[in-house]
Amino acid sequence: MWTADHWKDYEVLDTSCGEKLERWGRYILLRPDPQVIWNTPKTAREWQKLNGHYHRSSKGGGEWEFFDLPQEWSIHYGALTFRLKPFSFKHTGLFPEQAVNWDWFSQIIKGAGRPVRVLNLFAYTGGATLAAASAGANVTHVDASRGMVSWAKENAAASGLADAPIRWLVDDCVKFVERELRRGNVYDGIIMDPPSYGRGPKGEIWKIEESVYPFLELTTRLLSRDALFFLINSYTTGLQPAVLTYMLNTTVAKRMGGRAISSEIGLPVSESRLILPCGASGRWSREA
pLDDT for 94-104, tens place per residue?
A: 999 999 999 99
> pLDDT value at position 278?
95
C-alpha distance from residue 127 to each of 45, 102, 140, 217 (Å): 30, 8, 13, 25
pTM above 0.85, yes or no: yes
> pLDDT value at position 202?
66
Stretches where the chain sits below pLDDT 70 are 199-202, 204, 206, 288
> pLDDT value at position 204?
67
Q: Distance between CA 25 and CA 103 in Å, rounded?
A: 20
For residue 137, the Cα-to-chain-centroid distance in whole angstroms is 18
Q: Spell out the domains of the chain, with CATH numbers in brackets.
A: 2-84 (2.60.40.1180), 96-285 (3.40.50.150)
The one-letter amino acid code at 284 reads W
pLDDT tens digit string along 118-172?
Answer: 999 999 999 999 999 999 999 999 999 999 999 999 999 999 999 999 999 999 8
Helix, strand, coil percentages, rounded to 5, for the chain: 30, 35, 40
Distance spanning both ends of the chain, measured CA to CA: 15
- Nearest alpha-carbon partner for 71 in 89, 84, 53, 56: 84
> pLDDT value at position 200?
60
> pLDDT value at position 288?
56
> pLDDT value at position 201?
58
Is residue 20 within 8 Å of 11, Cβ to Cβ?
no
> pLDDT value at position 12?
98
For 156-167, give one letter per residue: b (16+ CB within 10 A) or e: bebbebeebebe
